[in-house]
Amino acid sequence: MALQTKLVPIILLPLAALVIWVRCRNEQRSLKHLILSLVVMAAGLVISYVAVDCLIEKGAYLLHFGQTWTSHFGIAKSYEYGSAEEHGFDWSALAKNWDLSAAAILGAALLARRARANLEAAIPLTWLGLAFLVFGLHKPWWPYYYVHTALPMCWCAAVGLVQVAVWAWSKRKFAALVAMGLFGACALAWMGARVYLQVRGVKQSEQLYASLVLQEAKRFKPMTQWLYASREIYSFYADIPMPPDLAVLPLKRFWSGEMTNERLAAELEKYQPGLILLANDGRSVPFQRLLEADYHLVYFDPGHRLYAHSSISRKASR
């Protein structure tokens, strides 16, 4: 399921193979057993992958897999919307999460020492290294990708904090216990402040579901089949679908050339959506000719422009 949502989890396959290898080694299993286990895992993944796609999407994902692959790994063919090179790993995220980063470094150091005698200690360490190797080099990197590095960091951090706490308590190292207490207090204060600021920011953000432009769009809903919006989330709140080939338009599709301004305009010409919702930023769009010929501006505010197809704008005005 995860791979059908995003291809990113594929990086965990080497980690799964490592877990199987460590288990076979600890149980002193033969090489034949190791190979058989890996084959069974691979076969199970492939069968479940195909079965889920057939049951839920009737094979649609696999039929359009080329589009997904091209958008992720295709060579850049267009720079109309910038390039992936402009979106590298944000190393400042490690400083912003200094509490986790510091504990993770400590845990990684302890795990590296233990891995020589206990191969299981290499699993979280390998996961951490794999995450930074992939996401440190891969472009584009988006802020929500941080979760892929945060998970192994949390594992390493937990190991580090627990090991130090056990050592300090057993050896009666009160100075170390006091230092850990101060670290914990500072970390909790930092986390609490960040949660408060983030919650406040969410509360103060635009509440799209209650925006006036959506109320206006819903007035046309009985008369329209499609809505094209520069921000796809508006289609969800308006409960009007986007044209199928335009429902998901990440920058990767434009960079790879799978989607172009010309094709975008052609798709809109083909579907003639009843409503087109754009940001009111003063910029022209690739389908400007279509807007001027077949659409009327029915609503605008400082942030939005809503256009209705001439066929339904006349009906609404009656």
Both tokens assigned to 56: 């839920």
Q: pLDDT, tens digit, for every residue of 97-125?
A: 999 999 999 999 999 998 888 889 999 99
pLDDT mean over 140-152: 91
Mean per-residue pLDDT over the chain, rounded: 87
Residue with tokens 């080497």: 14
Q: Cis peptide before 140, with omega less than 30 degrees from 0?
A: yes
Backbone angles phi, psi at 171, to 5 degrees: -95, 0
Question: Amino acid identity of 87?
Answer: H
Q: Where are the domains of the chain?
A: 1-74, 82-205, 208-317
Backbone angles phi, psi at 2, to 5 degrees: -65, -40
Strand positions, DSSP E, 213-274: 227-229
- Residue 26: pLDDT over 60: yes
Residue with tokens 């300090």: 168
